Amino acid sequence: MNTGRRAIQEVAKRSGVSEATVRREIEAVITAAQKNPDPLVRARWRRVPCAGRYPTPEELIEYLSRQAEPGKSMLLAP
């Protein structure tokens, strides 16, 4: 099981909600964030690997977890 899926399961369990609810909440945030007109923000989003137009919650979590690895900067500068 991948990091993104495990993270969603854990958040759902801790929050007492379904995995679908957690996914919907993350998807809503991704959709809103993708509409940010700031060129720097848009450039950062383009760096997130995804199969579709927007990253799935799992894809975003996977990307962010790799960025949080020791020795890597969390700054998502373009």
What is the pTM (predicted TM-score) of this model? 0.81
Q: Is position 77 within any domain?
A: no
Residue 26 sits in which domain range? 3-67
Q: Is position 76 within any domain?
A: no
CA distance 49 to 46: 8
Q: Is position 55 within any domain?
A: yes
Q: Tell me how many domains the chain contains.
A: 1
What are the backbone angles phi and psi of residue 74, rounded to the nearest 5°? -85, -5
Going by pLDDT thresholds of 50, 70 and 90, the confidence category of residue 72 is: low
Q: Is position 53 within any domain?
A: yes
Q: Is position 19 within any domain?
A: yes
Q: Which residue has the tokens 């799935």?
A: 56
pLDDT digits (tens, 9 = 90+) for 20-69: 999 999 999 999 999 999 999 999 999 999 999 899 999 999 999 988 87
User: Does the pLDDT of residue 76 top 90, yes or no?
Assistant: no
CA distance 52 to 40: 21
Q: Is position 75 within any domain?
A: no
Residue burial 41-68, b: 16+ Cβ < 10 Å; e: rest: eeebbeebebeeebbbbbbbbbbbeeee
